[in-house]
Amino acid sequence: MTVVTRFAPSPTGFLHIGGARTALYNWLYAKHTGGKFLLRIEDTDRERSTPEAVDAIFDGLNWLGLTADEEPTFQFARRDRHAEVAQSLLDAGKAYYCYCSPEELTTMREKARAEGRPMKYDGTWRDRGASDAPEGIKPVVRLKSPQEGDAVINDQVQGEVRVGNEQLDDYVILRGDGTPTYMLSVVVDDHDMGVTNVIRGDDHLTNAFRQKALYDALGWDVPTFAHIPLIHGPDGAKLSKRHGALGVDSYRDEMGFLPEAVNNYLLRLGWGHGDDEVISQEQAIEWFDITDVGKGAARFDFAKLTNLNGIYMRQADDKRLVDEISQRVATLIGSDAIDAAQKEILINGMSGLKERAKTLIELAESSAFYVTDGVTSFNEKAQSLIDSAPEGLFAELANSLEALDSWTEENVDASVRETAEKLDLKLGKVAQPLRAVLTGSNSSPGIFDVMIVLGKEQTLKRIRHFGA
């Protein structure tokens, strides 16, 4: 049997980080087993579903590389099929019309609340015919759920979970206006799409028993369930916006993470492979099995994600990194875009820059000095280094460097050291102010690397600005 998994988000907002992990686990399990990964947009909530949210979901999944093996299914477009299945259950006597008024349902709900128990429909219309129906009520359709015995789910993560059928009620599968409910739509779509494995958050575990009752009533095979624990914040509370439960696009656009770092981090939120921290996509596909996911909630840690991102940045191709930060750098220097020559400068300097940055935001900020005509701003420590520099230092440096016939790292190194000796200064007393005037910062790649990347003309221009 070919394994078929699915990710089924509701397009009522962005693709949040918890949803991204669910998608990742579904995608990985499909790849690991040689199966298929499908995507279904559950857009039956017409008031809250938006085209913008659909686009955001597609965009987030594409950025993470979690592409489906078939075109996506849109649930709302299948509503006639859902209603058809509901009618088949009515015809088979496995569902019935319920004519309860809103007032009657309210009374049931209030009674349950007063008794300290969950609301459960009392079966008023289970064995009654339409001849008893009051006027003015558009009936809903309810499933005849089993009332005796136990429902058992052998969950790939949670293990065997058992619920007494007496705890289940006859839930609504078709509303009074003829539209299907979530429970019905999900079961029909999973069946018709050939889904064999349902991997989702453990907040859906109770739904699994209701859905099993529907599968059984229809005589369909029940998929294998795997309910993964939710992600919690560092404080152990359910992950929220204050913890970082933002859209995947925020991790890309606002925080500057690489998709492979996000995937790697999400993979290990609940699953692990020994002591391995950095796990490539190829390794993840080979090693991942949904049965190895733990039952306990994982805690989201931005510091760990940031450190992991730094590792991936150091491994990344220099040209790719420049492409990633080009627009950020352009914005920082007040330009619409950077040109090919500026990109080449950044590529030349990237090996030194990426060793010191953990996010693309940091990388862009630390790179901008390379592509300005002179330094446009200085941090407080850099300005202090410039202000306290020995008198005549910058003029001596400029004169010594100006005399070089060949602009090589060996030559600029020797020239700076000669200047230090001439002024009877330690190398650090020369290199630190020099770094400040060239970069606007007290921290940068190796100063001689910086000088080579900047080139002779730009290096001298910046030094002479303070040595005139």
User: How sure is the predictor about 353, in pLDDT bands with cuts at 50, 70 and 90?
Assistant: very high
Report pLDDT for 14: 86
pLDDT grade for 103, boundaries at 50, 70 and 90: confident
Task: Write down the pLDDT at residue 55.
Answer: 94
pLDDT at 245: 56
Mean pLDDT of the chain: 93
Angle of helix 259-267 relative to helix 302-315, nearest 10 degrees, comes to 130
Residue scoring higher pLDDT (264 or 375):
264
pLDDT band at residue 47 using 50, 70 and 90 as cut-offs: confident
DSSP 124: T
Better-predicted residue by pLDDT, 246 or 41: 41
Percent of the chain past pLDDT 70, that is, above it, reads 98
Mean pLDDT of the 433-439 span = 96
**CATH classification (class only), 4-71+231-308:** alpha beta
Q: 122-181 pLDDT, tens per residue?
A: 888 888 887 788 888 899 999 999 999 999 999 999 999 999 988 889 999 999 999 999
Q: Is the pLDDT of residue 119 over 80?
A: no
* Cα maximum dimension of the chain: 109
**At a CB cut-off of 8 Å and minimum separation 6, what does 357 contact?**
310, 313, 363, 366
So what's the pLDDT on residue 127? 85
- pLDDT-above-90 percentage for the chain: 82
Taking alpha carbons only, the member of 454, 257, 256 closest to residue 365 is 256
Beta strands in 104-223 (DSSP E): 140-143, 150-155, 159-164, 172-174, 197-201
The pLDDT value given to residue 78: 97
**Backbone phi and psi for residue 385, each to the nearest 5 degrees, phi listed first:** -65, -40
Range in 13-17, 103-107, 271-275, 309-313 the model is least confident about: 103-107
Provide CB contacts within 8 A for 207, sequence distance 6+. Answer: 183, 186
CA distances from 309 to 32, 66, 101, 300 (A): 24, 19, 56, 14
Cα 183 to the chain's mean position, in Å? 26
Supply the pLDDT for residue 65: 97
Task: Give the other-Cβ count within 10 Å of 175's Cβ.
Answer: 14
Compute the chain's Rg from CA coordinates.
31
CB distance 152 to 169 below 8 Å = no
Q: Out of 132-146, 235-249, 401-415, which region has the weakest mean confidence (pLDDT)?
A: 235-249
pLDDT band for position 243 (cuts 50, 70, 90): low
- Residue in 251, 257, 254, 249 with CA at minimum distance from that of residue 321: 257
- Cβ atoms of 192 and 70 within 8 Å: the answer is no
Closest Cα partner for 375 from 287, 313, 465, 297? 465
Fold of the 380-467 domain? Arc Repressor Mutant, subunit A (1.10.10)
Q: Specify the pLDDT at position 240.
A: 67
DSSP 43-103: ---TTT--HHHHHHHHHHHHHHT---SSPPEEGGGGHHHHHHHHHHHHHTTSEEEE---HH
| Fold assignment, 75-182 | Glutamyl-tRNA Synthetase; domain 3 (3.90.800)
What CA–CA distance (Å, rounded) separates 206 from 186?
A: 14
The average pLDDT across 249-259 equals 95
CB crowding 354-381: b at 16 or more within 10 Å, else e:
beebbbbbbbbbbbbbbbbeebeebeee
The encoded tokens of residue 314 equal 């150091």
- The confidence score (pLDDT) of residue 242 equals 61
- State the catalytic residues: 241
- pLDDT, residue 241, reads 61
* Comparison of pLDDT for 47 and 178, the residue scoring more: 178
Between 284-293, 357-366, 387-396, the lowest mean confidence (pLDDT) is in: 387-396
Q: pLDDT at residue 244 above 60?
A: no
For 163, the token pair is 């619920």
User: What's the pLDDT at 247?
Assistant: 87
Structural domain spans, the chain: 4-71+231-308, 75-182, 317-369, 380-467
Residue 20 has pLDDT above 70, yes or no: yes
Q: Which long-range contacts (CB under 8 A, 24 or more apart) does 178-181 make?
A: 178/83, 179/44, 179/79, 179/83, 180/44, 180/79, 180/82, 180/83, 180/86
Q: Which two tokens stand for residue 22?
A: 């669910």
